[in-house]
Structure 1
Amino acid sequence: MPATDRSTAEAVARGRHSDPFSVLGLHDGWVTALIPDAERVWAVAGRTEVELFPVCPGVFCGAWDGGNYRLRASNPQVTWDFDDPYRFGPVLGAIDEYLIGEGTHRRLWEVLGAHVITHEGIRGVHFAVWAPSALRVSVVGGFNNHDGRRHQMRRRGVTGVWEIFVPGLQAGEAYQYEILGANGEICPLKADPVGFGAEHPPAKASLVRELGLHPWGDGAWIKDRKALNEIHAPISVYEVHAGSWRRVAEEGNRSLSYFELGRQLIDYVAEMGFTHIEFLPLTEHPFDGSWGYQPIGMYAPTIRLGRPEEFAAMVDAAHRRGIGVILDWVPGHFPTDDHGLKRFDGTALYEHADPKEGYQQDWNTLIYNFGRREVANYLEANALFWLDQYHLDGLRVDAVASMLYRDYSRKQGEWVPNVHGGRENLEAIAFLQAVNRLAYGEKPGIMTVAEESTTYPGVTRPTDKGGLGFGYKWNMGWMNDWLRYFNRDPVHRRWHHNEITFASSYTYSENFFLPISHDEVVHGKGSMIGKMPGGTLDKFANLRAFYALMWTHPGKKLLFMGQEFAQWSEWNHDDELDWALLDAPMHEGVRNLVRDLNVLYREMKALHWGDCEPAGFSWIEPDDADASVYVYERRAPGADPVVIAANLTPIERTQRIGLPEGGHWREILNTDSDYYGGANWGNLGTIQADELPAQRRPFGAEVYLPPLSVVMFAPDRAE
């Protein structure tokens, strides 16, 4: 009599047995195997061969006392030998189980997902996935004809984790999870939430990928980067959508690969003097039009541009050139695609069940249940994963405002108050604090940046002082005010003078970035040059003035690609930037200006040291609304001051301005220079400060201010 009775065998064969590992494999001297497409099956070890007898269609059983074995199966078409996945013991250990269950496994990616390992002397792939409400989980792919009966997984106690070791599989194998939900229905096939790679969309399977294949050479960079990311450092970020920066027209207008970006983009960024690149999300996503902001593969660099090791090589190339890499990270929501996290095990697992909490109506996406410890752990570990495995220097966290408030973009009655009756999402707040504690604690020298558009207090305050713990926050108020001002015809600017000065009243309330991002050049908003008023010459003069003020105002800098050379058209993710514009002197002039601003910003301590320190900035003339003139000073300990004067009307002006010291002052930058596309009006390179006080300064000088221009002065130490 076989050890497995028919009813049990039939349950296993139908994929309806709660514990297939208790039936299949070697138990009490009996081998039971499930091979649906076999007619005959043998257990084999060396010269020992025992035929197993059919218990029901697809299930075979026989006595075996020979220890480890392989299986041999045959049908009229073929005979094949293979290692039985059900003869192998568990891979996950008790500590892993405990940490997963507790929601504190910081290196979750080392135990979940698909890993090529050697287990009990055999090479293969270990799969592990969290699906606590599932009745059965199977891994499926071409290796088992996508038959969910073939590799039913082992449930690991109360953790909700399922695992299986599949001998013989290798990196590159495509796989998905077939899940029998608690309601007894099969869910849509699911990609691996901790998958390290994916097929090219629109295909939906995950791919087995090995981590750590790239030989890193950035040890010196990692050691020294803390000084390059801290608040006193010059940080100038070039924001990039990797798929549309450049394309290869002769090859079907394809995007550049990670390898190509590692040469062309890195060279360009270095030439332009930016200190960092920030990539729009490169985590795997199903829809190109989301630009990566609706990710499904949170642990996978998108295959659109290459394999994971090629992404790593691009980051390494940047570090070797002294350039930091920041990735846009999206923990605020996820898409409703059936192969993603939506009702992953047949229940609202990663998301809230109540759409008032779990559905983001603005983007037709789902919201993570940050209060569930396993979900928070999944995301916290993901943040660390990118910093650890791919040596990223920072994460810019998208849509933080939507996470902080339960009533974000909702009307009364469309949201659920917190336990205190308030609108704050206490669970999301705790999650963001945990991410920042983990990131800065585990990877000193990195930065986290919040895209947060409200007045929520303490975004960049340390968590032990009640803050969210981010390193920096995007200054959306500055961006809106300044763009509104520069969009106005200069004749009206006198009535809106405070739109420029107001930002200085709160500029040190947080550690700010000044962002001119992709959000300002899409969805009908046009381009930066297109926002400027007047004819062509005035548009360019206004844009040059805007950039000079942006680079000299307190706050780290961020500029989206294409705006550095005044691209006319709105950004289009399906095509490359309008590089041909650089043949025109006006466009090349703007790029020259941005390059020189980056050089001055990095080399002159006064222009960056006080980005987040009140001692680094003071107004000299903030009130001359009638002339639309602004004058201010940047300073730093032990460094020469820099004085910036702006004339934001199309009328040339001669003004007396205050200066902090006497003697000669060099004109270190003039946006009206013909090198930048201007008319070349200026101060002949120098001004002389006399001892007559002006504008609350002990010295003063007559200064010529060209129309719609910014001029910058520093003491001339060569005299």
Structure 2
Amino acid sequence: MLEMTPAMTRLVEGRDGDPFALLGPHDTAEGKVVRAFLPGARAVTVLAADGATLGALSQTHPAGLFVGTVDRAAPYRLRITWPKAESETEDPYAFPPLLGPLDLHLIAEGRHRELGRVLGAHAMKVEGIPGVRFAVWAPNAQRVSVVGDFNGWDGRRHPMRRRIEAGVWEIFIPRLLPGTRYKYELLGPDGATLPLKADPCGGQAEKSPANASVVPDPMPPRLEGLQGPSHSPDAPISIYEVHAGSWMRHEDGRQLSWDELGDRLVPYATGMGFTHLELMPITEHPFDGSWGYQPVGMFAPTSRFGNPDAFRRFVARAHVAGLGIILDWVPAHFPTDPHGLGHFDGTALYEHADPREGFHQDWSTLIYNFGRHEVRGYLIASALHWLREFGCDGLRVDAVASMLYRDYSRKAGEWVPNIHGGRENLEAISFLKELNEAVAEHAPWATVIAEESTAWPGVSKPVSEGGLGFGFKWNMGWMNDTLHYMERDPIHRGFHYDAMTFGLVYAFSERFILPLSHDEVVHGKGSLIAKMPGDRWQRFANLRAYYGFMWGHPGKKLLFMGCEIAQDREWNHDAAIDWPALEDPMHLGVQRLVRDLNRVMATTPALHRRDADPGGFGWVIGDDRANSVYAFFRYGTSADPMALVVCNLTPVPRISYRVGVPRAGRWIERINTDAAEYGGSGLGNGGAVMTEPVPAHGHAQSVLLTIPPLATLMLLPEGG
């Protein structure tokens, strides 16, 4: 038996961090030597490509180390005799390094924008041989191996080549196929074996609760040309927020697949007049109850609804229907699950080591280290992956406020100030700017939306002008103020009149989206209809009036699924929307109203074209506290007819209520939320009113309106 060297001992003990220095073909004084480590094998023969025998390897260690000389240098494969079978395959340790110097340089700089095509597992041919290339970033590990069903999950079998320039480990394993399950086994810097890790850049994963990574089918060419509708500040945007697992289900409780969602969700959303779907996070995540907001697979669509190509088909079907796809995307934090990113190589690699910076107390999650180049590059490459590889139209960045402030949800002494002694997270700010600049450069069709709940200035201002560079920002203040107002008994609303007007003080400081999101209908908050005061009729009327006010208000619109049918119960991620409620005319009426509000907004430039421009709005009545009446104009360009929005937020009808208008003639009632088809009383103005030469509110003309109880009217001048 051959005398064992220290390197051989480390190899058979699973401690060798440089396996290619020992395994595979090597020139020695005795000639060309081939070494293979195959625990459990009985015999190994080296074959040429034509099947000729080049040599036999002798077992030099009982753990499975085989060594022998070959007749000549030539491409070869190994014939391996196992106790109950025989196999033939090329030697993984006979292949050269695969990642080029430019790739490694860009990875180390954190500027590789196609990380999903470089790291992770990729089925490909190398030197004409099919197999899978694996690559993973783990700079502080002593050894990294790929493990899976193909090697009995034995970390000694396929230790990887270390590319020290970037802290990346790689290996090509021939003859593996897409669908192969795998993880990484790592030894930390102290030599301890870590829990098996899923692939941070893996493109596919097992279906939860299993958590291995899966080799995906080769990524097809990028989707080019076919995209969703415009999301420019002057475009009509109405977003339907959806949790894919609970929008609709089969009768037996099974979730719909991506193809089934394409069959049902896409036509439903377009039929309702929505312009975009916003999907709650579909990045792979271990816990259903996190709704996807604690992801472990930032490059992998969750396997709950099908494989990655099925998701691509879903996006394409949405685009064919004229529907844009926005994804909730979570770069703020990640879960502590052992197979995830936490302490990935035995060190705080993706997260901060100091829990005052690296641990989120509210969610018991880990916070990314935005000051590390490779971590920033990883996240930005993830964002671009969804936009470029799957063709999505935008990302909604979750929990931006938690990223911007070092003391977010922390008491004194529980956080670390920045280098200037302040509370601003300078590294996160820099990351967000870099993210938005990268999207503008590499996916210029896409938008990035901030869910930011504070008054941080310039969120949607360009980076070049000192802003963060987002396309839009959720208007959380508007949502809170107006919902609290609508929850009040109408008899008290006069004392809180300003809650509905205050949003106009800052409405044009950002490019805003008005959100009625999932956050408002969970955790005991009840449904939107349940928040409304009064008897059943009044609750529905309140909700319809509120929707009318929202669609008339400056800002793009977002509505969570189920809210469009006034679902009675709060959202449950384990159950579908209460679709049978539509058998009730009151619920059906709310659905019809939302559909018509979307259609009127889309076809009325004044209701969308100047959402972010103070010149697109003008108060007519913003001080009638006694009657809780509001009236305002929306303006488009000079060629667009204006729109008049009037709200009566008491249960008392206002008869012959005079409102000044700048244009004489007939005004058409485009929306009356009290219409009988919406479940209302049918009170209104017969579809139109004529002006009178009676001055009011600074205008020479005025109209006498019948404003129904708890209702919103939208009127346009006849003829444009």
Task: Identify the TM-score tier after normalising by the shorter chain.
Answer: over 0.9
For 1:115, the equivalent position in structure 2 comes to 122
Q: Deviations over 1:313-372 (max 9, x none)?
A: 000000000000000000000000000001000000000000000000100100000000
- The amino acid that maps onto 2:178 is A
C-alpha distance in 2, partners of 1:13/1:405? Answer: 49
Number of residue equivalences: 710
Q: CA deviation at 1:212?
A: 3.1
For 2:392, the equivalent position in structure 1 comes to 392
* Equivalent runs, 1:469-618 vs 2, <5 Å: 469-618=469-618
Structure 1 residue 639 and structure 2 residue 644: aligned?
A: no
Structure 1 residue 27 and structure 2 residue 26: aligned?
A: yes
For 2:103, the equivalent position in structure 1 comes to 96
For 1:219, the equivalent position in structure 2 comes to 225
Conserved? CA contact 1:399–1:451, under 8 Å: yes
Q: Deviations over 1:375-422 (max 9, x none)?
A: 000001100000000100000000000000000000000000000000
Match of 2:502, SS state, is helix
For 1:61, the equivalent position in structure 2 comes to 67
C-alpha distance in 1, partners of 2:218/2:80? Answer: 34
C-alpha distance in 2, partners of 1:76/1:206? Answer: 29
64-73 vs 372-381, which deviates more? 64-73
For 1:73, the equivalent position in structure 2 comes to 80
C-alpha distance in 1, partners of 2:9/2:509? Answer: 67
- In structure 2, the gaps of 5 or more residues are none
Q: CA deviation at 1:712?
A: 1.4
* Equivalent runs, 1:313-324 vs 2, <5 Å: 313-324=313-324
- The amino acid that maps onto 2:674 is D
For 1:696, the equivalent position in structure 2 comes to 698
Q: CA deviation at 1:79?
A: 2.5
Q: CA deviation at 1:220?
A: 4.6
Conserved? CA contact 1:211–1:389, under 8 Å: no
Conserved? CA contact 1:214–1:309, under 8 Å: no
- The amino acid that maps onto 1:38 is A
- The amino acid that maps onto 1:41 is V
Q: CA deviation at 1:122?
A: 0.6
For 2:709, the equivalent position in structure 1 comes to 707
* Equivalent runs, 1:345-424 vs 2, <5 Å: 345-424=345-424
Q: CA deviation at 1:121?
A: 1.6
- The amino acid that maps onto 2:59 is P
Please point out which of 228, 231, 254 is paired with 1:229.
231
Q: Deviations over 1:601-624 (max 9, x none)?
A: 000000001111111111000000
Please point out which of 93, 97, 118 is paired with 1:86.
93
C-alpha distance in 2, partners of 1:441/1:499? Answer: 40
C-alpha distance in 1, partners of 2:312/2:221? Answer: 6
Match of 1:485, SS state, is helix
C-alpha distance in 1, partners of 2:612/2:216? Answer: 42
Structure 1 residue 292 and structure 2 residue 292: aligned?
A: yes
For 2:650, the equivalent position in structure 1 comes to 649
Structure 1 residue 178 and structure 2 residue 185: aligned?
A: yes
Please point out which of 129, 136, 140 is paired with 1:129.
136
Please point out which of 43, 50, 58 is paired with 2:55.
50
For 1:431, the equivalent position in structure 2 comes to 431
Conserved? CA contact 1:9–1:55, under 8 Å: no
CA RMSD of aligned residues (A): 1.3
- The amino acid that maps onto 1:37 is G
Q: CA deviation at 1:211?
A: 4.3
Conserved? CA contact 1:6–1:56, under 8 Å: no
C-alpha distance in 2, partners of 1:582/1:459? Answer: 39
C-alpha distance in 1, partners of 2:222/2:109? Answer: 34
Conserved? CA contact 1:10–1:56, under 8 Å: no
Match of 1:26, SS state, is strand
Conserved? CA contact 2:620–2:632, under 8 Å: yes
C-alpha distance in 2, partners of 1:102/1:49? Answer: 44
- The amino acid that maps onto 1:461 is K
C-alpha distance in 2, partners of 1:499/1:520? Answer: 18
C-alpha distance in 2, partners of 1:77/1:584? Answer: 66
Q: CA deviation at 1:679?
A: 0.5
Relative to structure 1, the CA distance from residue 50 to residue 98 in structure 2 (aligned partners, 3 Å threshold; closer, same or farther) is: same
For 2:7, the equivalent position in structure 1 comes to 8
Q: CA deviation at 1:178?
A: 0.2
Q: CA deviation at 1:215?
A: 9.0
Please point out which of 165, 175, 191 is paired with 1:158.
165
Match of 2:177, SS state, is coil
Q: CA deviation at 1:51?
A: 1.4
- The amino acid that maps onto 1:292 is G
For 1:38, the equivalent position in structure 2 comes to 41
Please point out which of 666, 670, 673 is paired with 2:672.
670
Conserved? CA contact 1:512–1:555, under 8 Å: yes
C-alpha distance in 2, partners of 1:468/1:283? Answer: 24
- The amino acid that maps onto 2:517 is S
Q: CA deviation at 1:688?
A: 1.3
Q: CA deviation at 1:299?
A: 0.4
Q: CA deviation at 1:699?
A: 1.5
Conserved? CA contact 2:222–2:389, under 8 Å: no
C-alpha distance in 1, partners of 2:700/2:256? Answer: 56
Identity percentage of aligned residues: 55
C-alpha distance in 2, partners of 1:448/1:354? Answer: 30
The TM-score, its normalising length taken from structure 2, stands at 0.97
- The amino acid that maps onto 2:337 is D
